[in-house]
A and B are shown apart, each in its own frame.
Chain A
Amino acid sequence: MSADRPSVAGVETAEAFASHRRATLADLASVFLYIGVAGFGGGMAIVAMIEDICVRRRRWMSPEEFAHGVAFGQFLGAFAVNTTTFVGYRMAGIAGAVTAVTAFLTPGVALVILLTALYARYSSVPAMQTALHGIGPVVVAVLVSAAYRMGRSSLESARRSSEAAQGGTDGFAGTYWILPAIVGVAAFALLFFWHVPVIVILTGVAVVGTIRHLAEKRRRVGAMDS
């Protein structure tokens, strides 16, 4: 299915993704209807599912671009819906965004209305609890597999950019993985142990990235002068 796409060490390059851009409105509707039905767990669990379908299976965008969209979505709050909006808009503009979000919300809204109507009538929530206990671990697995893939892409893109910057001969080429590893572990620890708001974590990442970029730029200019 994907044999025609160029890849580096099993991870597709950004260029390979770019050539496969553009999904039709019908694609968006069917994919997000599916995610709306299967999207248990809320928030990041749904983001992980969108990654599984739109990035890994359909290759609508690169992992990097997807991460940009997720990060922006987090700045605004309702992240799963914002990621849906981002993917829909990038694929097919405003119509794509409206289609994706409507398709995504429809199954959940319909089910909630049905359950609430039953509840209003019988004053009890239908017994779905034990079945849901089995869904939880699957949601965890979806999260872990998305983290695994995005982690691999992250290391791959760090390796490529360090090779591009240093011509692949520099002695520091072997240390490309340190910064992404620190960022990943720090983001995990800040959120999980100290409950630091996501918006603060991502702002921190942007600040660190900016400082690093400016420092590199200065070094390059300095190297040119001497």
Chain B
Amino acid sequence: MGRLIFGAGAASLIDLAWVFLKIGFVFFGGGFLLIPVLHHEVVIYRGWLTQTQFVDGVAISQLTPGPVAILATVCGFFRGGVTGAVIATICVFLPAFVLMVTLTRIYERARQMDGVRRVMDGFLPAIVGLLIASAFDIGKTTILTPWHGLIGVVALVGLVRFNVSPALLILMGAIAGALIGR
């Protein structure tokens, strides 16, 4: 347990940082892609986590708010305690962060050009399509009973008509879900 809190030595923390930085670089291509990539690197290749620990780690990272990539935090924790978890998190997001900042800077210059702006405006309806697809995907696995359907409808009315904050609705959804049970 002591090792879990205080972490591994400095040398293995540098090693850990390097591994997650590398994973951060190949991370481009979708959030869920991270799961197989991490699995290969930290379970099969390096053996930092057992298979069971990894699968439960996926469950933990899905239980919590925030991006799926927080799975890196779980893996870092098993290798180097809290320090390892923080280092893994920073390193896995760093490459995408630097690239996104660069892209945003280019964007600020490019949007001054009328043609570029008009091409980019085509993204808006496409994003609408992607949002709906995502709603269907999540709905498929979570709206399993009429009660859950009712939660969804009430939340939608609350959001669109009455301007209720999403966090409050999520809290109410969690309470309703616990009351309904399985």
Contact = CB atoms under 8 A, between A and B. Distances in A.
A161 interface: yes
Interface in A116-143: 116-117, 119-121, 125, 128-143
B64 A85 contact: no
Interface of A: 34, 36-49, 52-53, 63-65, 67-82, 85-86, 89-90, 94, 97, 101, 104-105, 107-109, 111-113, 115-117, 119-121, 125, 128-148, 150-151, 153-154, 157, 161, 179-181, 183-189, 191-192, 197-199, 201-202, 205-206, 208-210, 212-213, 217
B82 to A, nearest CB: 6
B65 A85 contact: no
A112 B103 contact: no
Contact of A144 (B74, B97, B135): B135
Which of A71, A140, A198 is the most central at the interface, judged by chain B CB atoms within 10 Å of its CB? A140
Nearest to A191: B133
A71 B60 contact: no
Nearest to A101: B97
B107 interface: yes
Given A77-B28, A133-B148, A136-B138, A184 B77 contact: no
A39 B65 contact: yes
B38 to A, nearest CB: 13
B107 A68 contact: yes
Interface string B69-108: 1100110011000100110010001001101110111011
A77 B29 contact: yes
Interface of B: 1, 4-5, 27-31, 33-34, 56-57, 59-70, 73-74, 77-78, 82, 85-86, 89, 93, 96-97, 99-101, 103-105, 107-108, 111, 115, 118-139, 141-144, 148-149, 151-153, 155-156, 158-160, 166-167, 169-170, 172-182
Given A108-B65, A150-B131, A213-B118, 14 more contacts: A43-B68, A75-B103, A112-B60, A116-B57, A134-B178, A135-B173, A140-B143, A150-B128, A157-B121, A186-B129, A187-B126, A187-B127, A206-B119, A208-B122
Residue of A128, A137, A208 ringed by the most chain B CB atoms within 10 A: A137
Contacts of A125: 56, 59-60, 63
Nearest to B157: A141
Contacts of B78: 116, 120
28 contacts: A37-B65, A42-B31, A43-B68, A64-B124, A67-B127, A78-B34, A78-B69, A90-B104, A97-B101, A105-B70, A105-B93, A107-B65, A109-B70, A109-B86, A111-B64, A113-B77, A116-B57, A125-B60, A137-B152, A138-B151, A140-B135, A145-B156, A151-B128, A180-B124, A183-B126, A184-B128, A198-B30, A209-B118
Q: Interface majority SS on B: helix, strand, loop or mixed?
A: helix
B142 A109 contact: no
Contacts of A137: 139, 142-143, 148-149, 151-152, 155, 173
Given A138-B151, A139-B142, A85 B97 contact: yes
B28 to A, nearest CB: 4
